[in-house]
């Protein structure tokens, strides 16, 4: 359903590779799908295609395009998992937010779509939170976002709806970080937090060993309903 192309980076600093899928009927809203640290792999492309099947223009930017363009990794392969951790260490989160701004601009100006949502996973979940604090995204959803507890001072800037999926057994986001997220965001009028008891990081991956079928289906249904409400 989708295709690979490029869009202009923020400030004309290059071209961002993206995977984009367009629905058969005229879309009225768009979803940006921000990948984990494994690139725009098959699982992320499936998520993009699924959003397009629901009537959205859906697009996944290559978040590692500056130093590893086109990389696709499998988290179930130990060597590739370690490679992904290395890319995570290289990644500049502020430039990542600029890439999201460039993608929002592309969808609004080039695709003519007024409403734009964003869903991100892992590092993409952190970017979903930062998109809510730093951009004019219409709605954002983060799955098992990392290091959100370290950016809670930005929460006062959240002006549009944000939802976060939090697996309680996430081995990358410990209990103290989860408690800090709840303490910082539970009372925020624009934020919804969903906990998933006993589930681990990556539970909503489309494919692979990390997926928990029941948890993934529940989380994805909540995400679909969230966007249906806030991107209408």
User: Which residues are known catalytic residues?
Assistant: 122, 170, 201
Per-residue burial over 45-77, b if 16 or more Cβ lie within 10 Å, else e, is: bebbbbbbeeebbbbbbbbbbbebeebbbbbee
**Alpha-carbon span 148 to 51, nearest angstrom:** 25
Contacts of 198 (CB under 8 A, 6+ apart): 167, 168, 169
**Alpha-carbon span 198 to 167, nearest angstrom:** 7
Per-residue burial over 166-187, b if 16 or more Cβ lie within 10 Å, else e, is: bbeebeebeeebbebbeebbee
**Contact in structure between 196 and 165 (CB atoms under 8 Å):** yes
CB atoms within 10 A of CB 109: 9
């Amino acid at each position: 359903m989708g295709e690979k192309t490029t869009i202009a980076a923020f400030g004309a600093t290059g071209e961002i590779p993206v995977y984009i899928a367009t629905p058969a009927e005229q879309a009225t809203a768009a979803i940006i799908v921000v990948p984990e640290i494994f690139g725009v792999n098959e699982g992320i492309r499936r998520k993009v295609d699924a959003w397009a099947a629901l009537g959205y223009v859906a697009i996944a930017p290559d978040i590692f395009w500056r130093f590893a363009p086109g990389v696709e990794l499998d988290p179930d392969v130990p060597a590739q998992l370690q490679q992904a951790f290395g890319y995570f260490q290289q990644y500049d989160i502020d430039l990542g937010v600029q890439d999201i701004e460039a993608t929002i601009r592309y969808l609004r100006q080039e695709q003519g779509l007024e409403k734009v949502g964003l869903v991100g996973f892992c590092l993409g979940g952190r970017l979903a939170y930062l998109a809510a604090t730093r951009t004019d995204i219409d709605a954002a959803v983060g799955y098992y976002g990392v290091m959100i507890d370290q950016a809670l001072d930005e929460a006062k800037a959240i002006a549009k709806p944000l939802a976060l999926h939090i697996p309680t057994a996430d081995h990358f986001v410990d209990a103290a970080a989860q408690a800090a997220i709840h303490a910082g965001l539970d009372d925020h009028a624009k934020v919804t937090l969903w906990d998933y008891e006993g589930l681990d990081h990556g539970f909503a991956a489309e494919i692979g060993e990390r997926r928990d079928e029941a948890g993934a289906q529940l989380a994805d249904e909540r995400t679909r309903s969230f966007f249906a409400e806030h991107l209408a």
